[in-house]
Amino acid sequence: MSSLSVAMKVAVIGSGISGAVCASTLARNGVSVTIFESGRGPGGRMSQRREIGEDGKELMFDHGAPFFSVSNSDAMALVHEWESRGLVSLWKQAFGSFDCASNKFLGVQEGDANKYVGVPGMNSISKALCHESGVQSMFGTGIAKLEWLEEELPWLLKDSKGEYLGRFDGVVASDKNIGSPRFTQLTGLPPPLDLNLVPELATKLQHIPVLPCFSLMLAFKEPLSLIPAKGLSFKNSQILSWAHCDSTKPGRPTDSERWILHSTPDYANSVIAKTGLQKLSNETLHKISEEMFKEFLCSGLVSSLPFFMKAHRWGSAFPAKSIAVEERCLWDRNRNLAICGDFCVSPNVEGAILSGLAAASKLLQTSSSL
Ligand SMILES: Cc1cc2nc3c(=O)[nH]c(=O)nc-3n(C[C@H](O)[C@H](O)[C@H](O)COP(=O)(O)OP(=O)(O)OC[C@H]3O[C@@H](n4cnc5c(N)ncnc54)[C@H](O)[C@@H]3O)c2cc1C
């Protein structure tokens, strides 16, 4: 590594698993990295939600990705490293499939050796990577403008108030809306990246279709003992696609039994068609909670009522298209700009990890040729 490459400054937009893996890989290779995350904490769709029950006690929920699997050897090597650091663990519980038409289980399989969870929450990996040596993390800081100046440290970043956030040699963006009109739909602001700057990437970035999902967080005083599995996929339900028992994951408190239900994309789309993408009122969220819970009750699997119930909307839970399966990220060498995330490779944690690694590799090639 040359002394020049040590001085390379890179901004990473987003602290989901792709951005966090990219930032950590860059920092380990001597790059100075700043992560900008619009959310209050790290993890993106691998976040952990903290709620307070009526008794004042804390309730934690993995309301995004419940677990992940890996098959690629590069991703596997990272997961094994995280496992040795105590950041992830295997979740060895029985999983099943439930048919809502016949109200019967179609099958239950014993836990396998490839279902990983973050410990003590799904966000533990991103949290650790965001605080590694050489990585500075700014939470609650959304990037609203990426300006290109024909000078040293050509990228200038600003937030939604137009505040200056810094100058960088390179940028990695893990936001699929960075150059898309959907950013305007969500924020009312123009997209941060002017696609005229990166004409070769423009077509791919203009519109990436997504599937939405609602998560329903539930806490019960007593275990739901009629359910023979801790993760369930639902067949023949208009409303529910998945349920899992969060409190059976390693490292979670067991003073209550916490379940999370996921809606089908069709159900989520039908709600969004009526409400749009703006913030949902408590009344609407309550109605969604009731509809999802009623469907769970109809299965005959629920033996008691929850003491806590709250819905969360994931407007872009899963990308419906992968835009860079071969390259694993988009890259503009003239601008030192990489775009990474699950939407590049595959709509899951492994795809996001591989994309973050690919983006880091592109920037490291640049830094070594400086
Ligand atoms: C309900 C649900 C269930 C899932 N189930 C599974 C599963 O079982 N297995 C599996 O492998 N995967 C699952 N996934 C998918 C998995 O969570 C994602 O594939 C993965 O977490 C994506 O990581 P990412 O880094 O690409 O994106 P994200 O996690 O979305 O990270 C992007 C980050 O960028 C931030 N950001 C965006 N724009 C800006 C901006 N302008 N400025 C600053 N920050 C910004 C966001 O706040 C976010 O934190 C699930 C997802 C959901 C929502």
Q: Where are the domains of the chain?
A: 1-55+122-208+321-370, 92-120+209-320
Contacts of 117 (CB under 8 A, 6+ apart): 62, 66, 67, 68, 88, 89, 90, 91, 249, 250
How many Å apart are CA 257 and CA 246, to the nearest integer? Answer: 8
CB 168 within 8 A of CB 153: yes
Grouping H, G, I as helix, E, B as strand and the rest as coil, residue 313 is strand
On the question of pLDDT at 2 being above 60, the answer is no
What confidence tens digit (pLDDT) does each residue in 41-89 have?
999 999 999 999 988 999 999 999 999 999 999 999 999 999 999 999 9
ipTM over 0.95: yes
* Nearest atom, ligand 1, residue 350 CA: 11
How many Å apart are CA 124 and CA 212, to the nearest integer? Answer: 24
Helices (H) and strands (E) in the chain, counts: 10, 20
According to DSSP, residue 219 is labeled E
How many Å apart are CA 335 and CA 111, to the nearest integer? Answer: 46
pLDDT recorded at residue 367? 77
* CB neighbour class for 307 (10 Å; exposed up to 12, middle 13-18, buried from 19): middle
* Nearest atom, ligand 1, residue 355 CA: 26
Average pLDDT over residues 173-187: 94
Cα 343 to Cα 108, 173, 208: the distances in Å are: 31, 12, 8
Average pLDDT over residues 267-288: 95
Q: Which of 112, 174, 176 to mutate to test the pocket of ligand 1 (most atoms within 8 A of CB)?
A: 174
pLDDT recorded at residue 66? 98
What confidence tens digit (pLDDT) does each residue in 286-338 have?
999 999 999 999 999 998 999 999 999 999 999 999 999 999 999 999 999 99
pLDDT recorded at residue 40? 96
Q: Measured from the CB, is residue 214 less than 6 Å from ligand 1?
A: no
Longest dimension (CA), the chain: 67
On the question of pLDDT at 3 being above 70, the answer is no
On the question of pLDDT at 6 being above 80, the answer is no
pLDDT recorded at residue 369? 63
Q: Measured from the CB, is residue 347 less than 6 Å from ligand 1?
A: yes
CB 169 within 8 A of CB 201: no
Binning pLDDT at 50, 70 and 90, where does residue 264 land? very high
Percent of the chain with pLDDT over 70: 98
pLDDT recorded at residue 368? 73
Average pLDDT over residues 271-277: 94
Domain at 92-120+209-320: CATH code: 3.90.660.10
Contacts of 213 (CB under 8 A, 6+ apart): 241, 262, 263, 265, 268, 314, 317, 318
pLDDT recorded at residue 207? 87
Q: Measured from the CB, is residue 213 less than 6 Å from ligand 1?
A: yes
Q: Report CA(351)–ligand 1 centroid distance (Å).
A: 11
Q: Which residue's CA lies nearest to atom 13 of ligand 1?
A: 65
Position of tokens 């290779």? Answer: 29
On the question of pLDDT at 4 being above 60, the answer is no
How many Å apart are CA 302 and CA 221, to the nearest integer? Answer: 12
How many Å apart are CA 365 and CA 21, to the nearest integer? Answer: 17
* Nearest atom, ligand 1, residue 349 CA: 11
On the question of pLDDT at 115 being above 90, the answer is yes
Cα 167 to Cα 8, 149, 157, 164, 170: the distances in Å are: 11, 10, 7, 9, 9
Percent of the chain with pLDDT over 90: 93
Q: Which residue's CA lies nearest to atom 51 of ligand 1?
A: 65
Mean per-residue pLDDT of the chain: 95
For the chain, the 3-state helix, strand and coil shares in percent, each to the nearest 5, are 30, 30, 40
Q: Report CA(226)–ligand 1 centroid distance (Å).
A: 32
Q: Report CA(185)–ligand 1 centroid distance (Å).
A: 19
- Torsion-angle region of 277 (φ positive above 0: left; ψ -120 to 50: alpha; else: beta): alpha
How many Å apart are CA 43 and CA 41, to the nearest integer? Answer: 7
pLDDT recorded at residue 370? 58
According to DSSP, residue 68 is labeled B
Q: Measured from the CB, is residue 20 less than 6 Å from ligand 1?
A: no
Contacts of 201 (CB under 8 A, 6+ apart): 179, 195, 330, 332, 337, 339
Domain at 1-55+122-208+321-370: CATH code: 3.50.50.60
Q: Which residue's CA lies nearest to atom 19 of ligand 1?
A: 348
The pair of three-digit structure tokens given for residue 31, joined into one six-digit string: 């790059």
pLDDT recorded at residue 209? 95
Q: Which residue's CA lies nearest to atom 1 of ligand 1?
A: 64
Average pLDDT over residues 168-179: 97
